[in-house]
Structure 1
Amino acid sequence: MKRQSQAEIVKQLSNKELLLNVYASQLLFVLLAFGLAWLWFDDFNHLFGLFKLNWNELLLLGLIPGVTVVMIDLIFIKWIPEKYYDDGGINNRIFTSLSIPQIFLIALVVSFSEELLFRGVIQTSFGYVIASVLFALVHFRYLNKIVLLVSVLILSFLLGYIYEITNNLLVPIVAHFIIDFLLGIYYRLFRGDNHERKLSQTLSK
Structure 2
Amino acid sequence: MWPLTTDRPRGVLALGAHPDDVEIGCGGTLLRLARRFPGLPVTVVVLTGTAQRQAEARTAAGLFLAGCRVDVRTSDLPDGRLPAAWDAVKDLLVAVAADVDVDVDVVLAPRPDDAHQDHRTVAEIAPTLWRDHLLLSYEIPKWDGDLGRPNVYVPLDEDTAHEKVRLLDKAYPSQSGRDWWDEEMFLGLARIRGMECRARYAEAFHLSKAVLSW
**TM-score with structure 1 setting the length:** 0.29
Higher-RCO chain (CA-CA 8 Å, sequence separation at least 6) = 1
Structure with greater strand share of residues? 2
Structure with greater helix share of residues? 1
Higher Rg of the two aligned structures: 1
**TM-score with structure 2 setting the length:** 0.28
